[in-house]
Amino acid sequence: MKTDEIKTAEDTRESVSFGTRDKDFSKEPLCLSGRGVTRVFHTGKVTTVAVDHVDFDFHKGELISIVGESGSGKTTLSKMLLGLLEPTDGEIMFQGKPRDISTGAKKREYWKGIQAIFQDPFSSYNVFHKIDSVLLDCINMRGGGNLPKEKKIEMMTEACSFVNLKFAELTNKYPFELSGGQMQRLMIARIFLLKPNILLADEPTSMIDACSRATILDMLLKLRDETGMTVIFITHDIGLAYYISDSVYIMEHGRFVESGKPDKVMLEPEAPYTKRLISDVPKIHEPWDLSTVDLLQDA
Amino acid sequence: MKNTLRNVFHSPRFLVGFIIFMIILLTVLIYPWFVHRDPLQGLGKGFLEPGTYLSVYDANDTDTYRVELPEAAANRLEASLPTEDRQMMIDYLKAMGVDVSGLDTSNEKMEDLLVAWNANYDEADAKKNKYEGFATQAKRNALRRLDNKIKSSNSNVTMSVVKGEGDDATVKTVNGNDFVKVDEVANSVNLPLGTDNFGRDTLTELVEATGISLLIGLIAGSIATLLGLLVGLLAGYVGGVLDDILMFIANIFTVIPGFVLLILIYSALGAESRGIVTCAVIIGITSWVWTARSVRSQVISLRNRDHVNLSKLSGHSLFRIVTTDILPYIASYVVMAFILQVSSGILAEAQLSMLGLGPNPNELPTLGLMMNWAKLFGAYTSSNAWWAYFPVIMVIALISFSLNLMNTGLDQVFNPTLRD
């Protein structure tokens, strides 16, 4: 029964153009990989291992999902990937070479290649700045600071229309005047302007209602198709991860318990944690299987 | 921004505090336009009670007007008969065997006393020196003078004023009902708050001192807030070793009591080299610690927010992130801290000056110096000159009260948990 459900989902997926699941990405060059990446937090005498010796290989053009429940270390890992947090131990390789972000200039160079969309659109914007400045920053970062004003407006208008927003309506407005869905779409417009090689999307749809969620996902995948960028998708929604990913990493308590092609991970889960995540997804026309919750807590 | 300001001015506490503060500030700014007196100019010797003072010499030279005031004579007697004279009258009447049970020396009983006196006193009788306690010649003369004074006040009195000496002398006769117009007298001075021990006009001095104290508070508060902000922002945002070093320094300042440190520095400087700016700067650099600590903790809670991360990812420099992504978020808090720092700067100056460690007393007055002078010259002990210290205390209290009220009002606007 369970397999049937998922197969139905797969059928829908195949009808969508962005399906690249069957492509073998292992032949593509590595763009981001890590060995033994660890992050430990010290709060007073309490030591928390947020990310515990994880290894990963992300290939160019791949859409990778990192799935785990709250507190499993997904966001800490994403911050290390972005270079906002230093790993306590281990090594992160960027385009095959050890990543060097020791100085401000090198960091700025690194961030031209990797960008992010954060979970909470309401806290992603500086409330004191107008929307224009967010988009102008992106143009400046791409070296377009000296372009004429008309050209800049044209670029911003193009980026906004890509995400179905009208720049003329947004200009001179403050971010808090937009809805959550519009803010998150504006974030995608930002990525559209920056065109980074890697996009790290940290639960970009978790704070948004179901209707806007589909639109946001659709735009993200469209953007990926256009630019061929690598997308690292961080989510707690295993169904969504199965639906869109080329490769899935399951994270539990700071470790990757299972990884591989989504078909392999979802249809033949080995780790009990993966099984639980799959059974926790509520399904229509079927009683919600909560037995695994107790089972796992006892274990 | 406009909305925030409107909210702030709709807070009753802030508004009351703001109005009180503005009244004080405007008084300080406008008063010198009307009174051009040097605040440290001594007008006389010692404490003078509040009131208007007329030059007697100039009053004599001023044109007179005839005013028939019915109560003039009674007023004159009331003012010219001291308590001792009234007591002597009662004692004499008692010695004569008159019933004095209803009489005393107060102004209310003045009329009864005069009636009793006029009815019973007889000069011939007094000369016989038969009454106990009034047997000497001196006593009898005193009684006679007293009686003359009382008699003369009843009739239309005159006085002769001799001006000049020798042959040039002119004599002018002044009648009891001659009046001068106050503003026609060449020299008069209005002292609403009297004078202090140096004979300085207390009100002018107080206004000047309030201005200087506000300036000291402003400089001290600005320095403390800027230093605290700088240390707090750097320690909080950069973190790591810099945080450790800065917090180590802050801890040292916390452990040493600030006031003791101030006393030591002030004593070491000596009165001559303590200008008001020096005083303010020293108060400022000893009181930045708690601003730094609270700014630091606010920054730490902000530095991992998504909008800061996004700003980093957009390649912004540390300076730009701190000034555009952190500072605006804590601005309301900084304004509140600044207001409190100004208030405590004014209080610190007052405390230090009270101890005799204030700014150079020969240059300008401050509220604390005025308190110090009042203490040194016994305004609240021997002289009982309330006007020399009470208004100063009120001004210090009002400044402090208004600033704290503004702070609480702002807190209510910016801290959602305190909203009604």
SS3 B387: helix
Kindly indicate the confidence band of residue B129, based on its pLDDT and cuts at 50, 70 and 90.
Answer: low
Burial A233-250 (b: 16+ CB within 10 A, else e): bbbbbbbbbbbbbbbbbb
Kindly indicate the confidence band of residue B246, based on its pLDDT and cuts at 50, 70 and 90.
Answer: very high
Question: What is the chain A residue with the closest CA to B316?
Answer: A108
Give the per-residue pLDDT at B400. Answer: 94
Helical packing angle, A104-113 and B306-313, nearest 10°: 90
- Residues in chain A within 8 Å Cβ distance of B317: 104
ipTM: 0.82
- Residues in chain B within 8 Å Cβ distance of A82: 309, 313
pLDDT, tens digit (0-9, with 9 covering 90-100), for B24-47: 999 999 998 988 888 888 888 888
Among A228, A215, A220, smallest CA distance to A201 is for A220
Question: What is the chain B residue with the closest CA to A194?
Answer: B314
Q: How far is CA B172 from each of CA A155, A211, B57, B185, rounded to the nearest angstrom?
A: 99, 106, 12, 17
Number of domains observed in the structure of chain A: 1
Backbone angles phi, psi at B174, to 5 degrees: -110, 130
Question: What is the chain A residue with the closest CA to B325?
Answer: A126
Give the per-residue pLDDT at A4. Answer: 47
Q: For residues B110 and B116, give the distance between their C-alpha atoms in angstroms, rounded to a whole number.
A: 10
Domains and CATH numbers, chain B: 2-47+195-418 (1.10.3720.10), 67-159 (no CATH)
Helix H or strand E encompassing B46: none
The stretch B338-348 carries a mean pLDDT of 93
- Chain B nearest C-alpha distance from A115 (Å): 7
For residue B383, pLDDT beyond 80: no
Give the per-residue pLDDT at B155. Answer: 57
pTM for this prediction: 0.79
Give the per-residue pLDDT at A294. Answer: 54
* B324·A128 Cβ contact <8 A: yes
Pick the range with the lowest mean pLDDT from A221-230, B51-60, B63-72, B241-250.
Answer: B63-72
Give the per-residue pLDDT at A3. Answer: 46
Q: For residues A142 and A146, give the distance between their C-alpha atoms in angstroms, rounded to a whole number.
A: 11
* B315·A124 Cβ contact <8 A: no
Q: Which 3-state string (H, E, C) describes chain A?
A: CHHHHHHHHHHHHHCCCCCCCCCCHHHCCEEEEEEEEEEEEEECCEEEEEEEEEEEEEECCCEEEEECCCCCCHHHHHHHHHCCCCCCEEEEEECCEECCCCCHHHHHHHHHHEEEECCCHHHHCCCCCCHHHHHHHHHHHCCCCCCCHHHHHHHHHHHHHHCCCCHHHHCCCCHHHCCHHHHHHHHHHHHHHHCCCEEEEECCCCCCCHHHHHHHHHHHHHHHHHHCCEEEEEECCHHHHHHHCCEEEEEECCEEEEEECHHHHHHCCCCHHHHHHHHCCCCCCCCCCCHHHHHHHHC
* A124·B318 Cβ contact <8 A: no
Give the per-residue pLDDT at A1. Answer: 44
Give the per-residue pLDDT at A265. Answer: 83
Round the average pLDDT of chain B to a whole number and report it.
86
Q: For residues A110 and A99, give the distance between their C-alpha atoms in angstroms, rounded to a whole number.
A: 9
Q: For residues A65 and A76, give the distance between their C-alpha atoms in angstroms, rounded to a whole number.
A: 15
Question: What is the chain B residue with the closest CA to A79?
Answer: B309
Chain B interface, best mutation among A128, A139, A183, A207, by max B CB count within 10 A: A128
The stretch B173-182 carries a mean pLDDT of 84
Residue B331 in contact with residue B413, Cβ under 8 Å? Answer: no
Give the per-residue pLDDT at B99. Answer: 80
Give the per-residue pLDDT at B20. Answer: 95
- Chain A nearest C-alpha distance from B256 (Å): 26
- Chain A nearest C-alpha distance from B307 (Å): 4
The stretch B119-126 carries a mean pLDDT of 78
Helix runs in B239-257, H state only: 240-255
Which of the two residues, A74 and B166, has the higher pLDDT score? A74
Give the per-residue pLDDT at A21. Answer: 66
The stretch B335-357 carries a mean pLDDT of 91
Residue B396, token pair as written in the block: 């210090």
Kindly indicate the confidence band of residue B249, based on its pLDDT and cuts at 50, 70 and 90.
Answer: very high
- Residues in chain B within 8 Å Cβ distance of A112: 315
Q: For residues A111 and A114, give the distance between their C-alpha atoms in angstroms, rounded to a whole number.
A: 5
The stretch B363-375 carries a mean pLDDT of 89
Residue B137, token pair as written in the block: 């010649």
Give me the residue from B307, B309, B315 closest to A108, CB to CB: B315
Give the per-residue pLDDT at B107. Answer: 76
299 residues of chain A, pLDDT tens digit each = 444 444 444 444 443 444 566 677 777 788 888 888 999 988 878 888 888 888 988 888 888 999 888 888 888 899 999 888 888 888 888 888 888 888 888 888 888 889 999 888 888 888 888 888 888 888 888 887 788 888 888 989 988 888 888 888 888 888 888 888 888 888 888 888 888 889 999 888 877 777 778 888 888 888 888 888 899 999 888 888 888 888 889 888 888 888 888 888 888 888 888 888 887 777 777 776 666 555 555 44
Residues 6+ apart with CB under 8 A from B181: B62, B63, B65
- Residues in chain A within 8 Å Cβ distance of B313: 82, 84, 111, 115-116
- Residues in chain A within 8 Å Cβ distance of B301: none
Give the per-residue pLDDT at A292. Answer: 59
- Neighbouring CB atoms inside 10 A of A86's CB total 10
Listed ranges A1-10, B173-182, B278-287; the one with the highest mean pLDDT = B278-287
Q: For residues B323 and B308, give the distance between their C-alpha atoms in angstroms, rounded to a whole number.
A: 11
Give the per-residue pLDDT at A12. Answer: 46
SS3 B175: strand
pLDDT, tens digit (0-9, with 9 covering 90-100), for B216-226: 999 999 999 99
B317 touches chain A (CB under 8 A): yes
Domain that holds residue A176: 2-298
Q: Which amino acid is at A253?
A: H
Give the per-residue pLDDT at B416. Answer: 67
Residue B319 in contact with residue B254, Cβ under 8 Å? Answer: no
Question: What is the chain A residue with the closest CA to B328?
Answer: A128
The stretch B247-272 carries a mean pLDDT of 84
Where residue A246 sits, what CATH number does that domain have? 3.40.50.300
Which of the two residues, B8 and B110, has the higher pLDDT score? B8
Question: What is the chain A residue with the closest CA to B318?
Answer: A104
Give the per-residue pLDDT at A14. Answer: 42
Bridge partners of residue A202, in order along the sequence: A234
